Amino acid sequence: MKLDDACDLYFQYLRVEKGVSNETIRNYAYDLKQFFIALPKQSTDDMLSTDITDFVTIQMKNQLSVPTILRRISSTMNFYLFLEREHIIDFVVKDFDRPRKMKNLPKIISVEQVEDLLNAPDLSKDEGFRDRTMLELMYCSGLRVSELLSLKVKQINLEKQIIDVIGKGNKQRKVPVGEYALDFVKQYIEEHRIHNPGKKSNYLFLNRYGKPLSRQYFFLQIKKYAKEAGIEEDISPHTLRHCFATHMLENGAELRALQEMLGHANLSTTQIYTNISTKRILDAYDLFTKRK
């Protein structure tokens, strides 16, 4: 297939099936243009599994900023994944070394470490099930710690799989949540929270006395579970938000959509995330894009 035809097919898919804005498509087109300037192609038959590896090398040699390189990687990976799903190309892109973290980049732990952390709470105890629910919800939605702890029961729409979040400056946004995390939320409410002395409270997550949890308490719990999981890195509750953003971007999430999910005022804030991959949170992103 001619390269122009493949691009047109991809942009049509983004516009019609994903509801991506024309501005975002123009940004994708620009990134792909830079890719094909660096690695000229006439058709999809010329594409190789090592293309993105070569592209990263060229971009690094040109001393482009890490956020720019990461954005172009995301745009290009998304395009290649589309071609693979449509059986236009018959190979999988080979793994590649990504740009190293910049100074002050948020702390990230590996997918395996995240799994170990999520599995640390004792689900046989009400408090343990509550903590597991909080960890799952934070990792699959990217909520800030303050947003998580201040969540009220009415902000969770189990049927629509949406959380109505009140963020910084009282700005409201809707964040999709995948079924995996919502199953924990539902079970927590129906089987564990029901035994709490504060079960009539508006707040979703309660301590043993029926009061909302404090930041300090949750911080200490994260530390405890990290130690039990054998995680040596110095992590905090906010680490899960960073992991959420990192994993979403690395799986080809649209920057603008991720910006909305995270509640970032500026796109540049969203661009700092990089590395790793996971499938656990992609259902939440799919829910978001379907509603765009």
- Which tens digit of pLDDT belongs to each residue from 77-98? 899 999 999 999 988 887 776 6
Q: How much is the mean pLDDT over the chain? A: 83
Q: Which residue, among 236, 216, 212, has the nearest Cα to 138 in the 3D structure? A: 236
> How many Cβ atoms are within 10 Å of 163's Cβ, its own excluded?
23
pLDDT confidence of residue 19: 87
Q: Tell me which of 76 and 67 has the higher pLDDT.
A: 76
**Which tokens sit at 151?**
């969540």
Q: Tell me which of 238 and 201 has the higher pLDDT.
A: 201
Among all residues, which ones are annotated catalytic? 144, 168, 238, 241, 264, 273
pLDDT confidence of residue 105: 53
Mean pLDDT of 252-269: 68
Q: Is the predicted pLDDT of residue 186 greater than 80, yes or no?
A: yes
* Pairing of the two strands 156-157 and 172-176: unpaired
Rounded to two decimals, the pTM is 0.56
Cα gap 108→110, rounded to integer Å: 7
Share of the chain above pLDDT 90, in %: 42
Write down the CATH superfamily of domain 1-100. Tyrosine recombinase, N-terminal domain (1.10.150.130)
Cα gap 160→236, rounded to integer Å: 30
Domain definitions of the chain by residue range: 1-100, 103-292
Q: What is the pLDDT of residues 268-281, one digit of tens each?
A: 565 555 433 344 44
For domain 103-292, the CATH class is: mainly alpha
